[in-house]
Structure 1
Amino acid sequence: MPVAIVGLTTVSAAVSPLSELGSALHAVGDPGHHPVDLPPMDAALRRRARRWAFTTRAIRATPFVTVWGPDEEFATQLDHLRALPPRRLGGQLLRPIGDTGAALRYARARGVGDQVAALVERPGPAVTEFLEFLAESWETWFAARWREVRPVLAARTRRFALDLAAGGPAGALGTLDPSITVAGAGVSIAKVRNGRHDVARRGLVVVPSTLINPHVYVADVPGRPLVLIHPAAPGPPVPAARDLLRRLAALANPGRLEVARAIATEPRTAGEIAARWHVDPTLVNRHLRELAAAGLARATRRGRYVQYELDAAAVDALGGDVLALLLR
């Protein structure tokens, strides 16, 4: 279940302050899986951040995933947004929820009905409020952090440029994170949802972030280059979805779960399990092999016998691996 990116003819890297601000606002809204040290917001800004939180949740609003140039300052990016017609920018802010009809249907369930209705019905004042929120967030909350992290992000883009020149697009992308692997002429990203993006005509822009971890974010905005936001420091490896599904399926079988229990405290052979628990030895052997093939048990040959032992660490990590893949 990967996301594939092919047609890697135009690949570049960019540092984006607005993208990093979006990641910061996302992290503030989801502190459970973003244990990062961000400065505190004052009460008024916190209230405004909650009003606009839907623009930076699981799906980011278009302004946070738009790259106009490789190294623009925040003020320049904000000017790009100010130059857009209010109705157009208002529509871009609704991207996380859907088109106008879908946004109006689902906004109230998210508790942002009034905010979304304002973007649809009165985009001028609503967009002005959003731009003021961005400016205030930057000036009073995020600018100091940006001065600290900008050199880190710039260094990462320079390293990517060197990797691009040395190893080509696919090879360079494969250095960004363990979840990104070379696959044929393109790359594959370990995600739950299947997807395929041919970027031969639109291009691909990679944007490093000090705050995006544990996510690797692929932003597909029609008519724009595909944007890949990745952790500046690669995250830990995450098993492929097919491997996790095989492990989950192995434990979901009642008989196999009983066999797993039999080898959880000490190594045993298939014959020993069959005799002790009065089970068909052929079936036990099949269960043991499936557990081993799924990476949940280890097999050790002792003369004529093969003993199996549950890999407790692999079973213990399964929940965390599933969560890591879902968050990725």
Structure 2
Amino acid sequence: MSVDIDISGLRPERVSVVPSPLAELSMALHALAEPGHHPGLQGWVTGVTARLDSHLADRMCEADFLWRTTFSDLFLPYAGIPGRAALPGATLAEDMDLLDKLSDEQFVDAALEFTCATCYSTPGPTALSDAGVRGRALERAAARGPRQLRFTERLLADPPRTRAWLRQFLQDCDEAFFSDAWSRLRHQLAADARHKTDLLRRKGLAEALAAVSPAVTLDGTKGRIVVDKLGEGRTATGDGGLLLVPTSLGWPHLMVLHRHGWQPVLHYPVASPELSAPPSLEQLTLRMTALSHPVRMRICRHLARSAYTTSELAQAHGMTAPEISRHLGVLKKAGLITTRRRGRYVLHQMDVTAVARLGSDFLEGILR
């Protein structure tokens, strides 16, 4: 399985490596929401959480599906600018100015990307124009909880107001914790961008991609970039460019923006913090046996990012609910997932901390 980027006709000068403060803020929000994904950031997460204003913490929960499950394309808004050649801003304010340039349809679809089952790599109806898509968005938001439902209702009813809410929220996050982090991280990210740019100029795209991640390769014979992920997708640079955006807070997530009509983006990590000690041999044997089935591996990719109902997993994998339940039972017996009830929904989610103890290779595989 992979995400493929068709780069036929891509000119070397249209490949850019640029840090993005808004993208890094999304990583900061994700680390605060899912600290188990980022064992090396435990100290930073604890410090930020301890001094976080309670009102701001509540607002984080209200819209956390934008960064908890995976990462909304709203945090890479330059990719959606017409012409597909825009670059990230030098400051968070400049990045947010680009966010304001997205159309209402782009804004809403990107915000609901993980709560309504619209096509991502191909054109399709939007939640603002199609009642069926709108209904699915509200139903799936309801499964995530009342706060997510209220946010989705507000988003669909009044996109401009929600834009203003999001911008103010991001500004408040910047003042509360992100500006200090960015003042330290921007130098590391700028240095990495210079290094990758130098590789591009001296040795070509293949060498630069190899330095991004071993999971990213250039298939020169077919004119495409192949990103090895437990997921599938296709996009093309067309007459636009290709963006490489480094992240320090984002390890081990290697992400590919492959939304239809947007500029392709590789959002890649530049650091790999150490993980905690492995489990006992008995635990390891039980867990590795549970993970030996390819279907359970694919289920893990979903559950590592967010909580899902059995019916949602069945739909995503083209299986029946009883089949999914059997696989969930094996994973739960191995202590790899947790289950909780929220109203009429039963949600399953992976214990990422337990999975992290299996080793960085496996964790990186299901999270990238």
TM-score by length of 1: 0.69
Partners of 1:190 and 1:62 lie apart in 2 by: 20
- Verify: 1:108 aligned to 2:152, yes or no: no
Partners of 2:102 and 2:232 lie apart in 1 by: 33
In structure 2, the gaps of 5 or more residues are 79-85, 117-125, 128-132, 275-287, 295-356
Matches within 5 A, 1:152-163: 152-163=188-199
CA deviation map 1:39-95 (0-9, x unaligned): 232211111111110111334223202234244211112223345566653443222
Change (3 A) 1:118 1:168: same
Task: Say which of 53, 58, 66 aligns to 1:55.
Answer: 66
Partners of 1:73 and 1:55 lie apart in 2 by: 21
Partners of 1:50 and 1:210 lie apart in 2 by: 23
Residue aligned with 1:187, SS? strand
| Partners of 1:86 and 1:127 within 8 A in 2 | no
Identity of aligned residues (%): 31
- Select the structure of larger CA radius of gyration: 1
Task: Say which of 118, 142, 146 aligns to 2:182.
Answer: 146
Change (3 A) 1:319 1:14: closer
Q: Offset at 1:214?
A: 0.9
Residue aligned with 1:230, SS? strand
Q: Match of 1:325?
A: 365
Partners of 1:320 and 1:208 lie apart in 2 by: 19
Q: Match of 1:248?
A: 292
Task: Read off the aligned partner of 1:108 and give its amino acid letter.
Answer: A
Change (3 A) 1:89 1:70: closer
Q: Offset at 1:170?
A: 2.2
Residue aligned with 2:143, SS? coil
CA deviation map 1:127-154 (0-9, x unaligned): 3222211110112220111010001111
Partners of 2:246 and 2:185 lie apart in 1 by: 11
- Verify: 1:3 aligned to 2:3, yes or no: yes
Matches within 5 A, 1:114-125: 114-125=150-161
Q: Offset at 1:205?
A: 0.2
Matches within 5 A, 1:60-139: 60-67=71-78, 68-82=86-100, 89-98=107-116, 99-100=126-127, 101=133, 102-111=136-145, 112-139=148-175
Change (3 A) 1:34 1:126: same
CA deviation map 1:292-326 (0-9, x unaligned): xxxxxxxxxxxxxxxxxxxxxxxxx9786444311
Residue aligned with 1:175, SS? helix
- Verify: 1:183 aligned to 2:183, yes or no: no
Task: Read off the aligned partner of 1:191 and give its amino acid letter.
Answer: K
Q: Match of 1:201?
A: 239
CA deviation map 1:219-249 (0-9, x unaligned): 123222111100123689xxxxxxx9xx937
Q: Match of 1:46?
A: 57
Task: Read off the aligned partner of 1:62 and give its amino acid letter.
Answer: D
Q: Match of 2:257?
A: 219
More displaced stretch, 34-43 vs 86-95: 86-95
Task: Read off the aligned partner of 2:206 and give its amino acid letter.
Answer: A
Partners of 2:201 and 2:361 lie apart in 1 by: 34
| Partners of 2:233 and 2:258 within 8 A in 1 | no
| Partners of 2:251 and 2:269 within 8 A in 1 | yes
Task: Name the Cα RMSD after superposition.
Answer: 2.9
Number of matched pairs = 255
